[in-house]
Amino acid sequence: MATTAANISVEEQGRRLYRTIWRWHFYAGIFCIPLVIWLSITGSIYLFKPQIERWMDRPYNHLHLTGAHATPEQIARTAVIAVPGSTLHYYELPPSGDAAVRVIVGIGKKEYRVYVNPQTLAILHTVSEDRRLMTVISHLHGELLAGTLGSYLVEMAASWAIVLLLTGLYLWWPRQTEKFAGVLWIRTRSGSRLFWRDLHAVTGVWISAFALFLILTGLPWAKGWGGYFKKVRQVTGTSVAKQDWTTSRADALADRMAQNSNSTSNSMDDMPGMEHSGHMGHDMSGMMMAADRYQPFNVLVPVAATLHLAAPVEIMPAMKAGGTWTIKSDAQNRTLRDVLQANPETGMIVSRKNFDQGMILDRVVGTGIAAHEGQLFGLMNQLLGLVTAMGLLLLCVSAVVLWWRRRHVGVLGAPIPLARPRWSFALVVAVLALAVYLPAMAFSLIAVMLLEWAVLSRVPAVNRWLGLTAIA
């Protein structure tokens, strides 16, 4: 009899734990699903950034060029004059011999991309970097076009999506190993209710590992988690002077401004009669001084073309007068990136640093980011990312259908709570590990628990609607 009672107790304990985790899964889904749908759609578009940008730039990629080309210095100077009050940020090598040259200039916190015909010096197109389609998609995906607040919301959704996936695997993994129907494949002849349940479960099982990878490799960009990661690196002695990714649009712009501010102010100080705003002027003396300023491009552009770096290749002025200029690959596949310092007068390469020379932690994160963006191993990487994003979308849609079919009028529809389970050591360790790794999840969990204790559970109507009351 004692053995039977013990077995019943263990069985009841397992049932309580299962119901509790189901409730976690449900409430996490309520918050996550809208944002996961948004991130899946915007992320799917961004996966194909190279193809989309080539299509958008097609009017400027195959020009009818018949005569001699202008010098890089003339092209750079023309681009700066085209945006009054601007300073040059970097010169981008054209993608082909008959393509327009892209020159990026800036005014304060704004950057502009100027497309220059390399033969006639005609300005073919000027666009704000923030208004380029893939930049907008990137900001929609990472910040919801809401800046720091949006980044925190995305991070919180990503953190709880991890909880959602892990609890989903626990809920739907078979307790008897011979029963894999409804776990590894969908039962199509057992009615619509079971079909939707299987569609949700089977999709989750097949894509969970890929979805977890996408989420984890996206966290370094988040404002909160990225800052948290930097502090951990400082404490552990693994930090670097400048990491190869930024945690917000503001940080990315600050890096660019720092790169160009010193070189701009120094060069302007050396030009009598020139305004410090960076406006190059249209008089002949100003043109000659601008020519001196940009003359190193005549030396460095041919050098950069012979290096065969992964596109896009950028050439940036020195950060201070007399310093070396930078030639770098800004490829989305970060494993192909190189950064070189060159003498602006002779074109001699002074130093070169490639991806493999970075710290192991930076290489791991950089490789993960390249895979996250679909650029690590070409088209197959893009298609794998697309399948994963569509799988997440299918998970969300099937979850909504399941909730709609089982809902009861007048309540949210959360699984009915049972008595609280006894937490095992393994479960406590798992929750603590997630809280340490995902601070946004930890803080939001504490906030929700305090809100439930202080307010939600004390208002009977809200308590009942949310399904917070335990059955006696």
At residue 144, does pLDDT exceed 80? yes
Q: Report the alpha-carbon distance of residue 472 to residue 467 in Å, rounded.
A: 14
At residue 83, does pLDDT exceed 60? yes
Please state at what angle helix 2-46 crosses helix 147-172, rounded to 10 degrees.
140
More confident residue, 470 or 294: 294
Q: Are 91 and 74 in contact (CB under 8 A)?
A: no
According to the model, what pLDDT value does residue 254 have? 61
Task: Tell me which residue of 447, 448, 443, 437 sits closest to 219, measured CA to CA.
Answer: 437
Q: Are 163 and 199 in contact (CB under 8 A)?
A: no
At residue 209, does pLDDT exceed 90? yes
Q: What is the mean pLDDT of residues 453-468?
A: 85
Q: Are 328 and 316 in contact (CB under 8 A)?
A: yes
According to the model, what pLDDT value does residue 175 have? 64
Give bridge partners of residue 104 from the DSSP assignment.
Answer: 90, 113
Q: Is 296 exposed, middle or buried (0-12, 13-18, 19+ CB in 10 A)?
A: buried
Q: Report the alpha-carbon distance of residue 452 to residue 438 in Å, rounded.
A: 21
Q: Report the alpha-carbon distance of residue 249 to residue 427 in Å, rounded.
A: 38
More confident residue, 166 or 452: 166
- How would residue 213 be classed by pLDDT, with cut points 50, 70 and 90? very high
Backbone φ, ψ for residue 341 (5° rounding): -110, 130
Lowest mean pLDDT among 14-23, 52-61, 155-164, 169-178: 169-178
Backbone φ, ψ for residue 182 (5° rounding): 85, -5
- pLDDT tens digits along 24-75: 899 899 989 999 999 999 999 999 999 999 999 999 999 999 889 999 999 9
Residue 69: other Cβ atoms inside 10 A: 15
Task: Tell me which residue of 157, 154, 131, 134 sits closest to 142, measured CA to CA.
Answer: 154
- Which residues touch 267 (CB under 8 Å, ≥6 apart)? 293, 317, 321
- How would residue 7 be classed by pLDDT, with cut points 50, 70 and 90? low
- How would residue 178 be classed by pLDDT, with cut points 50, 70 and 90? low
User: Computed over its alpha carbons, how large is the radius of gyration of the chain?
Assistant: 28
- Which residues touch 374 (CB under 8 Å, ≥6 apart)? 47, 48, 381, 382, 384, 385, 386
At residue 265, does pLDDT exceed 90? no
User: What would the DSSP string read from start to end of 388-434?
Assistant: HHHHHHHHHHHHHHHHHHH--TTS--PPPP-SPPPPPHHHHHHHHHH
According to the model, what pLDDT value does residue 449 have? 86
- Which residues touch 40 (CB under 8 Å, ≥6 apart)? 389, 390, 392, 393, 396
Q: In what order do the strands lie in the sheet with 325-329?
A: 123-128, 110-116, 101-107, 87-92, 313-316, 325-329, 338-342, 349-354
User: Can you read off the two tokens belonging to residue 304?
Assistant: 């950069």
Q: Report the alpha-carbon distance of residue 354 to residue 368 in Å, rounded.
A: 17
According to the model, what pLDDT value does residue 470 have? 57
* Residue % of the chain over a pLDDT of 90: 56
At residue 190, does pLDDT exceed 80? no
Please state at what angle helix 49-56 crosses helix 133-143, rounded to 10 degrees.
150
- pLDDT tens digits along 266-312: 444 333 333 333 333 334 334 444 457 899 999 999 999 999 999 99
According to the model, what pLDDT value does residue 141 have? 95
According to the model, what pLDDT value does residue 193 have? 79
Q: What is the dihedral of CA 257, 258, 262, 265, to 10 degrees?
A: 30
User: What would the DSSP string read from start to end of 311-341?
Assistant: SSEEEE--SSTT--EEEEE--SSGGG-EEEE
Query: Which range has highest mean pLDDT (7-11, 19-23, 177-181, 308-312)?
Result: 308-312
At residue 154, does pLDDT exceed 90? yes
Average pLDDT over the chain, rounded to an integer: 85
More confident residue, 246 or 272: 246
According to the model, what pLDDT value does residue 59 have? 95
Give bridge partners of residue 305 from the DSSP assignment.
Answer: none
∠ CA 341-296-106 to the nearest 5 degrees? 85
At residue 244, does pLDDT exceed 60? yes
According to the model, what pLDDT value does residue 261 have? 53
Lowest mean pLDDT among 77-86, 238-247, 252-261: 252-261
According to the model, what pLDDT value does residue 282 have? 36
- pLDDT tens digits along 343-401: 999 999 999 999 999 899 999 999 999 999 999 999 999 999 999 999 999 999 999 99
Q: Report the alpha-carbon distance of residue 373 to residue 382 in Å, rounded.
A: 8
Q: Report the alpha-carbon distance of residue 306 to residue 299 in Å, rounded.
A: 12
Residue 317: other Cβ atoms inside 10 A: 29
- How would residue 14 be classed by pLDDT, with cut points 50, 70 and 90? confident
More confident residue, 449 or 35: 35
According to the model, what pLDDT value does residue 274 have? 33
Task: Tell me which residue of 337, 335, 311, 332 sits closest to 374, measured CA to CA.
Answer: 332
